[in-house]
Chains A and B, each alone.
Chain A
Amino acid sequence: MKIHLQPLGLLHPLWQFGFYLIPVAMLCTVSFWLLQDFQPKPALDLQNYQQLLTNHVYQQGLFSSLKLALAASVLSVVLALPLAFAITFAITDRFRRFFIFALLWPFFSNYVTRMFSMQLLLGEQGVLNQVLLKLGVIAVPLKLLYSEFAILLGLLSILVPVSAMIICMSLTKLDRTLLDAASNLGASKLQTFSRISFPFALPGALGAFMYSFIVSIGDFVCPRILGGNQVYTLSILIEDRMKVNDWPMAAVLGVMIMVASLVVMSAVLYGFTLTPTAMFAQRQARQNES
């Protein structure tokens, strides 16, 4: 039997087309549908979008989602940058594998479990409070759980490891001899950092920001478990709408999430072209042409 490999190349795009692109296109059309007798009915109506503009619950959801996602993304990049530098420069090759494993293991220790363990740690009867009480640091248990702070902490616990790995990947492109050359030419530590190592980390930092934003804006587990119905984000509102079969409104909120992610993504992609390393590559390509 002879297998022709030629059409097999289309297998993967077709899979993504059939199971991803068509559903997303359908989501966009459903956002114009109407809910009649608790059932979504095909229509072409802007009523749902009108509701988004007039109902303050949705506006507040949009606002708190964007706020949380932006705060989480900025914090995760800021916390991950020194981590990436530590893994790339402050550790010998032998230990690097161990540290990467130690960094990624809690990340892969199941998302739901991780949020639950945060709950266990931060709760009023939680591990942290009990330890602090026993040590006599505090007299009354701290109220840490069910707040935006707790959600932020939970999000960071998943975002920081991956952000650090993304920045690490862009740092591996840095040729170590450049650092030696800089110090040989009399550059100070600070100059070497600001002119050489940091520019190489910049594309990774942008990528990490994009990853963090996309994950945190679309997450409903963390706000649900750690926010305890105190904070309403878009993702929670979507989950609620889907539960009562209100597809059109859920789809509108989903489109909002999609638009927000697209805006951040295009900003980051534009930012990539402005990074020093990209500028340098462009200049070289132009020189090669002429």
Chain B
Amino acid sequence: MNKAAPSEPSGRWTDAAMTRRVRRRYAAEAIFRGAGLAAITLSVLFLAFLLWSMASKGVGGFTRYEAQLPIDFAKTDLFLDPAAIRGPDARSAVAGADLSGAISAAAKAAYGPAGTQLFGDAAVDRLTDAILANPNLVGGKTSLWLPVASKIDVAAKGEGSAAAEKIVAGLEQGHALRRTFNAQFLTGADATDPTAVGVWGALKGSVYTILVTILLAFPVGVLAAIYLEEFAPRNRWTDAIEVSINNLAAVPSIIFGLLGLAVFLDVMNLPRSAPLVGGLTLALMTFPVIVIAGRNAIKTVPPSIRDAALGVGASKMQVTFHHVLPLALPGILTGTIIGVARALGETAPLLMIGMRAFVAMPPRGVSDPATVLPVQIFLWSDEVDRGFIEKTSAAIIVLLLFMLLMNGIAIYLRNRFERRW
């Protein structure tokens, strides 16, 4: 009777079976904890790898190689009227001349037959600027540093074809090749030649689009938030509004693009590819985000503020606009900036409304054809020329910096102005 059944686990801590069991349980604990740590580490590593791969590929996009080219204008068959290039229409006069032919003739003279492949569109741009800055250049002999063609540029950065690599080696031997900062990338617009492309056009388009978005979505969103939080009666209408706001916040962005296409372009006949339409579409998308952020911010304003203002005789409207809204504004602004930053990175709805056109001129207004930075990235990623790979990554760096700036502002606003009650 006093013998314990062998199958029954004993309850004593010192038992071998018990310690084994406890050890196993603690091992499971460590494994579980390790799995959690591994998961978060892996996620952060993914992020680090993503950013690192964009940064390492993109840094090269901010630089480009230039080669020295001695030009003897007398020997090229370039015809430029000395009076015209000093006149008011100098730019169109120079643009009409066959600069690319002159460059390739000069390159052939300097570097042999392979020289004709040395320079591309960017070199023509540079020569145009040089002639405009100093019309006396034409007719004499000069030596200029010109950006090399994409193929040579890629080869100089170590990923080109064997033939291009040979040209690069030849240039380097003669000290006729140098790497410089690519200012055109920050000031130019889209182009067919990757060494001549720039993000300024797309950046400007993004700024216009975002401005339209903010101007429309922010006031309307704040007013709607005020209405829903402070004035709306509890009835079916209010429920319908709330349900649609919550649903809109979860609708895929591409659906807003379809809406923009059907309503703004097809019914209202607004201009295609324009920042105006892009901004309108993104405003509809950002509106529910602002309303939700606004309501949360208004909710945090304590009722005592309202009671005090009502108590000294302010009307409900005065309470809201003189006291509640100013106190809630930092919170609303933070939410708005986060929503706008998301709209800034949005691509799909803008593809739907035709903002994917090739736009070689920065837009001058909200109704000019334009593209935005994310769409520009998408367009460049589709290009075959290898020179576009680093340009795409470089544009991504610009976009991420832009977004970092906006989120930084949001965080600053939150820390600086947000009150804890």
Report if A and B associate in a common complex: no
Binding site for A on B (CB under 8 A): none
